[in-house]
Amino acid sequence: MAHIRPSRWYMLVTGAALGFVVAAGFHASLNKDADQMDLLYRADLVRRHRLTDLSLFTEARYTRHPAMADLHSAFQDHPMALEHFPSGSFISPPALLKRNHATKP
Amino acid sequence: MQPSLERHAHLIDFAISSLLRRKGKNLSLLAVYVLIVFVIASLILFVQALRREASLVLTGAPEIVVQRMVAGRHDLIPVSYGADIVSIRGVSEVVPRFWGYYYDPVFGANYTLMVPDQSPPAEGTIVIGPGVARNQRVKSGDLLTFRGASLQPLLLTVGQILPQQSELVATDLITLSAADFQAMFRLPPGTATDLAVKVANPREVATVAAKIAERFPDTRPITRSEILATYDALFDWRSGMMVVILGTAVLCFIICAWDKATGLSAEERREIGILKSIGWETTDVLLLKFWEGTVISLTAFLAGLSLAYAHVFFFSAGLFQHALKGWAVIYPDFRLTPSLDPYQLGILFFLSVVPFVAATIVPSWLAATTDPDSAMRS
């Protein structure tokens, strides 16, 4: 078998890896139509049922509906606050907290 | 091949041979490097895809949700507030939302129960999310037992299971009729969980929200833009777990780069001395070191990124699942919409490849500019 130079091997491996990354980009755009249909279905479900949150964390009410959680939920106090539920540590304080909720006199 | 390309090909040959002479060290360095890039890239791809999903899907959420606050906590809202709110200029519709949580003591799962205002299920029938069906191992037509407000068992027939596409928004959702909801929670008459307000002109949402808060001081209006902002802040780098993961990955990377930058081994120093003594220019040595750094860092970047893409979009970020699931019994079995953001890939490239190559070249430059004799003796 002919000896292949290390530089050729490196170019081949790098080319293949680069090809995978480019293919990943194509994969993302190829599936766009099917993914778009799924997205539209979810958006329609949200609109019809008047949903407000993703069902990503179901372990506690304030992680199931972070947008609806009341202002005194544990994890919203501070991102590094001691948190009872693990998923609470993934979410930083919502924008709501930056707003002044006090009623104007 | 052009002479300049041929020169670089020879340098790569030499660089790879040089790396293979310290096979154990460099292979373990490559493995750690791939792992670091994999973790950071997986996080970036996962978070980006989730945020994109939330921003597209939640555009259908109500323009304003009005909650009632009592003693700083969310409370049931009188439906009569709706009649006043609808009289505010710009409001086209106010719909009371009836929803709540149900803890299933048998399966240890939390469900979200809701009465849809458009075509709700018939009395005695429910529509369940795919996560509930998976958890309870039920199919369409089966009976599910719930506990009513006065502890009486409530038998409801599964009329439909929502399709798999709904996982990310409705995995734990159970929709039921108003009568069954009332039997389960016995809400005081004339109250709802909150009110969904429709505003005809999107530019008036903030004004309408301010008017609601002014007219009803015990309420908290939550606008759709605030809902979207909450999900934009999801997995923000400042959140606890992200700081830990990113901090650990960056620290590992700094250790790797520091190891390279703090100096060369005696063997590497001798190698540079020999190369200089046999006629290599300083630029040749630097080019050699550039290729050594590039071979490792570019390979690690491409391999780590490819693995991360497969991990997030083909295997639904399985490695993060245990951390994300936490103590939840129901976790959505979702597939994220694949996307690659060139801007974020660019940042990852410049953070992972460039510093490592620089950390390889700088000490070599210091060694290459010294006298070959002293470099060989050191």
* pLDDT value at B281 more than 80: yes
Q: Which residues lie below 8 Å from residue B32, measured CB to CB, with a gap of 6+? A: B252, B256
B67: distance to nearest CA of chain A, Å? 8
Q: What pLDDT does A76 receive? A: 53
- pLDDT (0 to 100) of residue B1: 63
The ranges assigned to domains in chain A are: 10-49, 61-98
* Mean pLDDT in residue range B260-289: 80
Q: Which amino acid is at B116?
A: P
The pLDDT of residue B263: 64
Provide the mean pLDDT of chain A: 75
The enclosing H or E element of B225 equals helix B224-232
Q: Which two tokens stand for residue A14?
A: 């790098």
- Rounded-to-integer distance, Cα B64 and Cα B223, Å: 4
Q: Which residues of B touch A52 (CB under 8 A)?
A: 58, 61-62, 65, 222, 227
Q: How far apart are the first and last CA of chain A?
A: 88
Cβ-defined contact of A67 to B227 (cutoff 8 Å): yes
The residue to which tokens 């090909």 are assigned:
B9
Specify whether the CB–CB gap between B64 and B208 falls below 8 A.
Answer: yes
Fold of B77-192: Barwin-like endoglucanases (2.40.40)
Determine which of A74-88, B28-42, B57-71, B285-299 has the lowest per-residue pLDDT on average.
A74-88
* Burial tier of B150 (Cβ tally within 10 Å: 0-12, 13-18, 19+): exposed
Where is pLDDT greater, at B362 or A75?
A: B362
Rg value, chain A, Cα: 24
CA angle B353, B345, A42 (to 5 degrees): 155
Query: Taking the domains of chain B in order of start, what are their residue ranges?
Result: 3-57+234-377, 77-192
Judge: A90–B324 Cβ closer than 8 Å, yes or no.
yes
Closest chain A residue to B236 measured between Cα atoms? A92
- Read off the tokens for B236: 């923000």
pLDDT at A90 over 80: no
Cα atoms found within 13 Å of the Cα of residue B195, Cβ hemisphere only: 28
User: Can you tell me the distance from the alpha carbon of B239 to that of B328, in angstroms, rounded to the nearest whole number?
Assistant: 19
Among A40, A55, A104, the residue to mutate for chain B (most B Cβ within 10 A): A55
Residues in B touching A99 (Cβ below 8 Å): 226
Closest residue to B222, CB basis, from A20, A67, A92: A67
Using CA atoms, how far apart are residues B91 and B65, in angstroms rounded to an integer?
Answer: 12
**Can you spell out the DSSP letters for B316-329?**
TTHHHHHHHHTT-S
Segment A11-23 shows an average pLDDT of 87
Which two structure tokens, joined as six digits, stand for B85?
A: 């709110």
**CB distance A67–B170 less than 8 Å?**
no
What is the mean pLDDT of the segment spanning B263-284? 80
Is there a contact between B99 and B113 (Cβ–Cβ < 8 Å)? yes
Give pLDDT, residue B51. Answer: 86
Q: Does A62 touch chain B (CB under 8 A)?
A: no
Asked if the model's pLDDT at residue B219 lies above 60, the reply is yes
Q: Which two tokens stand for residue B19?
A: 């790396």
- Asked whether the beta carbons of B35 and B43 are under 8 A apart, the reply is no
Which range among A10-14, B168-172, B351-355 shows the weakest confidence by mean pLDDT?
A: B351-355
SS3 of residue B211 by DSSP: helix
Q: Which of B159-163, B230-234, B271-275 has the lowest mean pLDDT?
A: B230-234
Cβ–Cβ contact A97 with B under 8 A: no
What is the 8-class DSSP label of residue A85? S
Highest mean pLDDT among A23-37, B208-222, B266-280, B313-327: B208-222
Which of A3, A4, A7 best tests the B interface by mutation, with the highest count of B CBs <10 A?
A: A7
More confident residue, A63 or B115: B115
Question: CA B286 to CA B272: how far, in whole Å?
Answer: 10
Which range has the worst mean pLDDT, A5-19, B121-135, B190-204?
Answer: A5-19
What does residue B237 show for φ and ψ, rounded to 5 degrees? -60, -20
